[in-house]
Amino acid sequence: MIVSLFFTLLLASHAQTPAQVKSEEELMRESMVSISRQLGVNCTTCHNPENFKSDKKMEFKVAKEHMKITQGLIDLGMDGKKGPKATCYMCHRGELKPKYQEVIPAF
């Protein structure tokens, strides 16, 4: 699962002592709460609440792609060691559809 490494890294800033090692399920839940906050959405924006494994929603599919992209940026060195660490928030800024095109003023 691509996601487990990503989430481990996503949550690495909340460093844990060995005594507090969390279950995979807990980590998944925390990372889901975190990405929801970073996008300013609820679980149901991406999930069918009757089946969280379902990948039918467009938002779910895009989120999965963007998790890969975010992990790719971390792997390429945007890992928070010397500078910023790639997160959803970096681009999304608390919005599901971040404005991403430069606004060029018409003089």
Residues that bind ligand HEC (CB under 6 A): 1-3, 28, 32-33, 35-36, 39, 41, 43, 45-47, 52-53, 59-60, 62-64, 66-67, 69-70, 86, 88, 90-92, 96-98, 100
- Nearer Cβ to ligand HEC (11/90): 90
CA 75 – CA 58 distance, rounded (Å): 26
CA 38 – CA 36 distance, rounded (Å): 5
- Write down the least CB distance from residue 9 to ligand HEC, Å: 11
How distant, in Å, are the alpha carbons of 38, 40, 68 from that of 4?
18, 22, 11
